[in-house]
Every structure is written in structure tokens, then in C-alpha cells.
Amino acid sequence: MLKQYKLVTVTGARQVSPRTRRLTFGGPELADFTDVAPDQQVKLFFGRNGEPRPWVPQPTGDGDVMRWYRSFMAMPETSRPWMRAYSVREHRAEASEIDIDFLLHEDGGPATSWAAAAEPGDVVGLLGPSPSQLAEPGPYDWRLFAGDQSALPAIAASLAALPAGAKALAYIEVADEREVQELVGPADVDVRWVHGGLVDAVRDAEFPAGPVYAWLAGEASVVKALRRHLIGERGLPRDMIAFSGYWRVNATQEEIEM
């Protein structure tokens, strides 16, 4: 079920890496923000014409996501806010705050332009979080995470949430060494940073022994290739793989939603 649409305020901003800017959102509007699983996302809305308080239709409360989406898409294109989906990097419920990492694309799209200039006091529209898609399919000995830089916030949050004693292997593709981040948590985690060729890196990997639960996210065609490799070449059962195509080359968020 979609949560109510709300306007949230930037309370902090810092540059995590040359291409990643972390914005903190806080205030009473987030007091009822539910605890989020690492894979959950929110939808953010940016005024198409620079509106400081972008408006979209409120969800009806009946849980019909497509009804809301049709009403959103029925808005005149010239005034319909841009919509983008983001993982929650960290949720601090006691402070009514969430952190979201923005990957600053070279093309300078609407979300990049807004995030690059955002400062405390700026406002953005928010809908979410979306329901978690994670499931515990059965026993496994370790976890595999693989994704590009768009999946880095979710992978980082997932690794931080693993309990002590858990084992994980993560392959994360980033542009270069400057984009590498320190990922901390109590689990036994081996992080491999990849600079191009994520599918090849996973294909060439020596996996630990024992059954694995895999989590894949990033550009849709790459995720598809990773999943095909794990099923066809590694023999993983389909229900032991969670996957999501966060973006597609030359496709907008609205086209992905459709």
C-alpha cells in the first residue's frame, strides 16, 4: 500500500565521493516513517519547472498502486513533477531522519541537478517506502550481493544490517577508486570493488562453499545477465535469487515504472 504523499525538508548535505552526494531529510513529516528493509525504496518528486513544493495526487488509501500511477501520469506533462526511485541509505527513527545517496550523473538530469545544488531548507516530494521484496526462501550459508553504483546504497545498508557471524561476498561496480566507500558492520563481509565488467567479475569469482542467497540490482540488462549466470552456470535455484532492475539505458523512471 502506498503511503501518503508528503513534502520533506533537507536538513543536511555532504559529498561522500566525487559522484555521490548524501542528503539527510528530517522533520515531523518523517515521524511516522516506518522501519525499512535495506531493499526498500522511496519515490522522490522534483518540480519540473523549479517549483519549490511539487504536488502530485494523493494515494486513495485502497492500496491500488496502478490507480495512483494512472492519476499521476494523467497530469499535464508540462507540470507533472519528475519522479525518481531511491534506496534509503539509513533510517534513524529516533531522530525522524533518513539519508539518501544521490549518484550525480554526468548528463545532469533533473534529479542530479536538484541534488547537486540542494541545501538545508530545500523541499522535495516523497512517497513511500515501498513494500519490501526480500524473502527468506530457505536455509543458506552465506549471501552474495552484486550491483552497480546505483545499488551501492542498498548493498551498504544490507551489509550493515547483517548480524555478527553472518557471511557475505559483495561485488560492487563503481567508476573508479575515488568512488570506493568504507562499508562497516558486524558481519563477516568480503567486498570486491569492480571498475567495469561486473558480470565477468562475478562469473570469475570463486564462491565460498555452501548454499547461497543472492541479491542483484542495477542496470536491468546486467541484472538479467547475472541472474542467468547464477541459474544456468552456478545452478542456483530461482527462489534463492532476489533481483531488481533499477534502471535501463536510455529509459526514464516513468518508463521503467510502466
Domains and CATH numbers, the chain: 6-131 (2.40.30.10), 142-247 (3.40.50.80)
CA angle 246, 151, 227 (to 5 degrees): 70
CB 171 within 8 Å of CB 148: no
CA angle 161, 163, 165 (to 5 degrees): 145
Q: Residue 252's pLDDT is what?
A: 53
**Predicted confidence (pLDDT) per residue in 68-112, tens digit:** 999 999 999 999 999 999 999 999 999 999 999 999 987 778 999
pTM of the model: 0.90
Instruction: Say yes or no to pLDDT of 256 above 90.
Output: no
Any residues with CB less than 8 A from the CB of 130 and at least 6 apart, and which? 40, 41, 42, 43, 85
31/144: higher pLDDT: 144
Instruction: Say yes or no to pLDDT of 258 above 60.
Output: no
pLDDT confidence bin for 250, thresholds 50/70/90: low
Instruction: Say yes or no to pLDDT of 60 above 90.
Output: no
Average pLDDT, the chain: 90
pLDDT confidence bin for 35, thresholds 50/70/90: low
Instruction: Say yes or no to pLDDT of 177 above 70.
Output: yes
Instruction: Say yes or no to pLDDT of 3 above 80.
Output: no
* H or E element in which residue 143 lies: strand 142-147
Instruction: Say yes or no to pLDDT of 133 above 70.
Output: no
Any residues with CB less than 8 A from the CB of 164 and at least 6 apart, and which? 186, 187
Instruction: Say yes or no to pLDDT of 135 above 90.
Output: no
Q: Residue 40's pLDDT is what?
A: 82
**Predicted confidence (pLDDT) per residue in 182-219, tens digit:** 998 999 999 999 998 999 999 999 999 999 999 999 99
Say if residue 158 is exposed, middle or buried (CB neighbours under 10 Å; 0-12, 13-18, 19+): buried
Q: How far apart are CA 74 and CA 93, in angstroms?
A: 35
Q: Residue 78's pLDDT is what?
A: 94
Instruction: Indicate the range of 191-195, 197-201, 224-228, 246-250 predicted with least confidence.
Output: 246-250
Instruction: Give me the DSSP letters along 21-89.
Output: EEEEEESGGGTTPPP--TT-EEEEEE-TT--SS---PPP-SS--HHHHHHHHHTS-TTTPPEEEEEE-S
Rounded percentage of the chain residues whose pLDDT exceeds 70: 93
In this structure, what C-alpha cell is assigned to residue 228? 542467468
Instruction: Say yes or no to pLDDT of 131 above 50.
Output: yes
Any residues with CB less than 8 A from the CB of 2 and at least 6 apart, and which? 59, 63, 65, 68, 127, 128
- Please count the helices (runs of H) and the strands (runs of E) in the chain: 6, 12
* H or E element in which residue 254 lies: helix 253-257
131/185: higher pLDDT: 185
Instruction: Say yes or no to pLDDT of 38 above 90.
Output: no
> What does the radius of gyration of the chain's CA atoms come to, in whole angstroms?
18
